[in-house]
């Protein structure tokens, strides 16, 4: 049985970035975000209605986490894929067991359906002589 998940949804807020110590003092970036995965269904009048979706906590690790936190903002429409994990803990106040599903993302992509423009940066090797001259003091 697979625990792979792929879906499209909207960010509840801009992703939060933190750096977590993983082993031998090494720190890795992790972006945390909450995403609403909707279920739009045609209503017969050329529009769509949300027929019940769900919220899911998502984390993305490594260099992509830093880019995601820098570029995405509240409301961004994203396509996400990864593995679902069940987190369990004991409630501090009541002592009751608690749990929730979380998505450990392999990929978070901007859904182009709501993008107005994109700016590309060239590779370092593609910088022209004119750009080098302009950057020189």
pLDDT digits (tens, 9 = 90+) for 43-52: 889 888 888 8
Q: What is the Cα 46 distance to its own chain's centre?
A: 30
Rounded to an integer, what distance in angstroms lies between the CA atom of residue 87 and that of residue 53?
A: 21
Task: Count how many domains the chain has.
Answer: 1
Predicted local distance difference test score (pLDDT) of residue 133:
47
Residue 14 pLDDT level (bands cut at 50, 70, 90): very high
Rounded to an integer, what distance in angstroms lies between the CA atom of residue 98 and that of residue 85?
A: 14
Per-residue model confidence as pLDDT tens digits over 58-109? 999 999 999 999 999 999 999 999 999 999 999 999 999 999 999 999 999 9
What is the residue range of 126's domain?
4-135
- Strand positions, DSSP E, 43-132: 48-50, 54-61, 77-90, 97-110
Residue 128 pLDDT level (bands cut at 50, 70, 90): low
Q: The domain that contains 43 carries what CATH number?
A: 2.40.50.140
- Strand positions, DSSP E, the chain: 4-11, 16-23, 26-37, 40-42, 48-50, 54-61, 77-90, 97-110
């Amino acid at each position: 049985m697979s625990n792979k998940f792929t879906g499209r949804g909207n960010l509840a807020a801009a992703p939060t970035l933190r750096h977590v110590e993983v082993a031998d003092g090494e720190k890795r970036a992790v972006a945390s975000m909450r995403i609403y995965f909707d279920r739009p269904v045609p209503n017969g009048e050329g529009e769509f209605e949300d027929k019940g979706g769900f919220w899911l906590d998502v984390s993305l690790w490594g260099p992509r986490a830093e880019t995601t936190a820098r570029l995405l903002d509240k409301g961004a429409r994203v396509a996400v894929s990864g593995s679902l994990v069940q987190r369990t803990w004991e409630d501090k106040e009541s002592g009751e067991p608690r749990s929730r599903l979380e998505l450990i993302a392999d990929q978070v992509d901007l859904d182009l359906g709501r993008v107005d423009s994109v700016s590309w940066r060239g590779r370092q090797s593609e910088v022209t002589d004119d750009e080098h001259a302009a950057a020189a003091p």
